[in-house]
Structure formats: C-alpha cells, structure tokens
Amino acid sequence: MSSRRPSSRQSSGGVSRISDDQIIALVSKLRHLLPEIRDNRSDKVSASKVLQETCNYIRSLHKEVEDLSDRLSQLLATIEAESAEAAIIRSLLM
C-alpha cells in the first residue's frame, strides 16, 4: 500500500528533472513490465529511451482498452448483471 508521499526534496518551483538514481530505480521496475527493455541485455538504458518506451506502452494500453470496450459493447447486447457476473467468474476460474 502506498504511504503518504514524502515532501518533495528537489522541487524548485521551476523545471525539476528526474535524477539518475530515480531513473535507475524506474528502469529496474519497468524492466519487468516493458518487453522492449526486458529484452535489452544492457544495463545502461538512457533516461529518454525509458520515458519514450513508457509513453508508448501506456498509449498502446489505452488503445487496447478502447478496442476492448468497442468489442464488449457489441458482444454484450444487453448486459444483465447475472450473466456478466457469471461470465467473469467463469473466465477467471479458467
């Protein structure tokens, strides 16, 4: 569970950049999430590359949610609570 956010140590009111330590922490976690960076055997991934891959990945996830919503709106002509629940439970048990 996330705790309260620590007060910003580096906010200067203006432009504050992501530091190298934070990039390293981000890379190690994103490595598990992003296929492109996971396959990259190098430990040195540039900050801008990580940010770019992250943005691309989020955009692709958004697009997929849109497409799935489209598909579901066609498949579920009338969403009755019982059938939706039954289908979800069934699919989760598979």
Least CB distance to another protein at residue 38 (A): 13
Minimal distance in Å, beta carbon 86 to another protein? 9
Distance (Å, whole) CA 68 – CA 72? 6
Cβ closest to another protein, residue 26 vs residue 40? 26
Distance between CA atoms of residues 32 and 51, nearest Å: 15
Residue 30: closest CA among 22, 38, 19, 20 = 38
Residue 27 has a CB neighbour count (10 Å cut-off) of: 19
CB distance 53 to 40 below 8 Å: no
Smallest separation, CB 41 to another protein (Å) = 22
Q: Which of 14, 18, 37, 45 binds another protein (CB under 8 A)?
A: 18
Here the tokens at position 24 are 């390293």
Binding site for another protein (CB under 8 A): 1-3, 5-6, 8-11, 15-19, 22, 25-26, 29-30, 33, 46-48, 51-52, 54-55, 57-59, 61-62, 64-66, 68-76, 78-81, 84-85, 87-88, 90-92, 94
